[in-house]
Amino acid sequence: MNPKSWKSLLLTTCSGVLVCAAAQAQTDVSALHAQIDQLADVVEPEVIANRRYLHQHPELSNREFETEKYLVKHLKAMGYEVQSGVAHTGVVAVLRGGKPGPVVALRSDMDALPVTEEVDLPFKSTVRGTYDGKDVGVMHACGHDAHMGILLGVAHIFVQMKDQLPGTVKLIFQPAEEGTPKGEEGGAALMVKEGVLSMEPKPEVIFGLHVLTMFETGQLAYRSGGAMASADDFTLVVHGKSSHGAMPWNSIDPIVIGSQIVLGLQTIASRQMDLTKAPVVVTVGKFDSGVRNNIIPDSATLKGTLRALDEGMRQQLHADVQRTASNIAAASGATVDVDIGGESAYPVTYNDPRLTARMLPTLKRVGGAGLVESPPIMGAEDFSFFQQQIPGLYVFVGVRKPGASLEEYAPNHSPRFRIDESGLKLAVRTLANLTVDYMAGQNQGQGATAAQ
């Protein structure tokens, strides 16, 4: 046989081997998909039971002591390598698969809110706690109980699949997503600071999700790029000059000046920002000044929140608030102290476009006809701190019974918030499939193409 014939035979053989290897890999991943679906049915009662227990025993931010113990107990019983006390009460659990592959992180939040529950459920919360010095009801009014139940269910599935798992799973149960008590550090920012993403095993990507009643059960929602807004609190203190209310000409009235600042801030969104790029929000939620009807006070304090879906616009928003408040105050002879992000400063929850494109076929397969593109959500999530370190994808799972109104299934953070638990299995399948498909190198061409 001449050299050209040998070369042709070799190329044909190699091509056949590669095609066979690719086909075998696809078969192996398809088998994992089928196993996930089977096991999701098995763990569904466990997911609901864990969620109900955690719902009945909520704890506030940085105070999730019993929640931490509950998670540690269950994860150790499954065989995970468990580290507790991360960022005060957080838990990190690692499972090393039986096959080589990348490390994938999955995150659930843990904390409840200072809200008194008004939903009459057999597992209704009657817990009381202390928030900002006040005795308050405590409720999982945002679905973090469901998130923990979901991730425990995913953890159980991966234990059953350990020998076939092509990589390592790093589960992150994060405290204080709703914000820390005054003067304390916590949440995702502290977890990052303590090395949760930089310590071995180091994850390449991170996936997370949130249950929302804005979507119906069976719906799975995603958005590439800015999915949830940044959130920066702001405090403006206007310093004027006090006078008797009968002689306002002797004053520099901080109430009038503060009112002008409130109106001036509204023009930032309506006249200064390019809203064709992304929306922004400027909201003044508190205006505090004076003690008596006939005394013009020395100062006025305004508090509010700034929201943006683009990091560049977020920075412009900060600069515009500073300039607008300072110039309006100066025009009347007053001064103003501007503090932005002093109490809370969450970046944009930004879904990496390359990763989103790569995982979109997975979302389509899992979500089916229920997959929808989410509108921009102006609420914030400190999952964004993880996304600043490594590529991340954050999706939304519907938990409102189909056909039901938002009066029946109130929005997150309401004392009447409730969920349709039949939607939790989709969340379990979503996280498990995203993990396995990423580990197995599925859809890699999708991300590369989209990023070009």
pLDDT at position 3, please?
52
Question: Model confidence at 19, in pLDDT bands (50, 70, 90)?
Answer: very low
pLDDT at 276 over 70: yes
Encode pLDDT of 418-441 as tens digits: 999 999 999 999 999 999 999 999
Where would I find the H helices in 332-452? 353-367, 384-387, 424-439, 444-451
Let me know if 222 is a catalytic residue: no
pLDDT at 25 over 90: no
**What tokens does 326 get?**
């300072």
pLDDT at position 28, please?
87
- Is residue 83 exposed (0-12), middle (13-18) or buried (19+ Cβ within 10 Å)? middle
Query: What is the residue-averaged pLDDT of the chain?
Result: 94
Name the residue with tokens 């070009």: 452
CA–CA gap between residue 423 and residue 441 (Å, rounded): 28
Domains and CATH numbers, the chain: 28-229+351-451 (3.40.630.10), 231-346 (3.30.70.360)
- This prediction has a pTM of 0.91
- Other Cβ atoms less than 10 A from the Cβ of 447: the count is 19
Percent of the chain scored above 90 by pLDDT?
Answer: 90
Read off the DSSP letter of residue 405.
-
CA–CA gap between residue 326 and residue 336 (Å, rounded): 6
Which helix or strand (DSSP H or E) is residue 46 part of? helix 3-56
CA–CA gap between residue 22 and residue 26 (Å, rounded): 6
Q: What is the mean pLDDT of residues 194-222?
A: 98
Encode pLDDT of 336-370 as tens digits: 999 999 988 999 999 999 999 999 999 999 999 99
CA–CA gap between residue 434 and residue 79 (Å, rounded): 22
Q: Which residues contact 396 (CB under 8 A, 6 or more apart)?
A: 209, 210, 211, 212, 214, 215, 220, 221, 222, 374, 377
Where would I find the H helices in 196-310? 254-267
pLDDT at 269 over 80: yes
CA–CA gap between residue 277 and residue 129 (Å, rounded): 42
Task: Give, to the nearest 10 degrees, the angle between helix 353-367 and helix 444-451.
Answer: 130
> Which one is catalytic: 46, 81, 204, 421?
421
Question: Model confidence at 10, in pLDDT bands (50, 70, 90)?
Answer: very low
pLDDT at 292 over 80: yes
Let me know if 346 is a catalytic residue: yes
Encode pLDDT of 129-143 as tens digits: 999 999 999 999 999
pLDDT at 285 over 70: yes
Read off the DSSP letter of residue 270.
I
Higher pLDDT, 13 or 186: 186
Encode pLDDT of 69-114 as tens digits: 999 999 999 999 999 999 999 999 999 999 999 999 999 999 999 9
> Which one is catalytic: 70, 222, 346, 409?
346
